[in-house]
Amino acid sequence: MANATQQVQKLTRSRFLRLFALGCASAAVLIACASNPTGSTASDTATDTAGQPLVVGTEGTYPPFSFRDLQTNELAGYDIDVAREVANRLGRPIEFVPTQWKSMLASLDARRFDFVANQVSVTPERQQQYAFSEPYTVSGAVVIVSNDNPKQIQSVADLNGKVVGTTQGSNYAAAAEEAGAEVKYYSGIAQVLSDLQQNRVDAALNDRLYVLTELKEANYNVQAVGEPFNEEVTAFAFNQENEPLRDEVNQVLTEMKQDGTLASISEKWFGEDVSN
């Protein structure tokens, strides 16, 4: 009887150990599933951007590049159309974040956007801090004065000792200072032109494409003088660690140039191809 009792005890203990081990294994699986509900591995959970919106910073107050259509209240413009086409070809929705230019690049630094689409001029200083796409606009800056032009300014060479109005954060400020001018800052181009026509500043600087399209239709008592004094290329600006997205966008921009889409968008807004 003693041997039989011992055998029963051994069998009971063995069965208990097997059930305990099975229970532990099951608990481990449940814990793993709770921490990873999809049951996927690390390699399976790599970020898939397809379908995720592209968040894009833009002014929305700078026609014909980026502005709000008064009839539809939707953002419109050359930069808006180019960015939308890029997003469409990447298979991603797009979300624009209207932002004042003075805080545009700081907002990019703060990761509020994936990139900026707002006629960002590519300069050596900016290239040290940001990753730029292939240029999608080639233009140049011109001098703007009031129609009565009391200081008789005819070119950038005449700006020495004058007061030039420009928007905060604009690269035109550096051009004005290089010409020997004093710079007065404004929140937007409308405020610059308003003070210019009242001779509160002596001149302003802006893109020739703005002058070609919007300035001639505006009611400001101002005019452009002289020829463009430089050549500017503009591109989408990305944070440097976002170069993979920049490379995807570059591939799309190359396709748009090759198939004529970029030229078509240019001609829609400017009546000429400004993309190269």
Residues of the chain with pLDDT > 90: what percent?
69
What is the spatial order of strands in the sheet that 141-146 belongs to?
182-186, 163-167, 203-207, 141-146, 222-225
Domain 141-225 has CATH 2.60.450.10: no
Cα 235 from Cα 213, distance rounded (Å): 20
Which is nearest to 159 in space by CA: 183, 176, 141? Answer: 176
pLDDT for residue 50 is more than 50: yes
Q: What is the pTM of this model?
A: 0.70
pLDDT in tens, 116-156: 999 999 999 999 999 999 999 999 999 999 999 999 999 99
**What are the structural domain ranges in the chain?**
54-138+233-269, 141-225
Chain segment 142-191, per-residue pLDDT in tens: 999 999 999 999 999 999 999 999 988 788 998 999 999 999 999 888 89
> Could you say which architecture CATH assigns to the domain 54-138+233-269?
3-Layer(aba) Sandwich (3.40)
DSSP character at residue 202: S
- Biggest CA–CA distance in the chain, Å, is 124
Same fold, 54-138+233-269 and 141-225: yes
Round to whole Å and give the CA distance between 7 and 260.
87
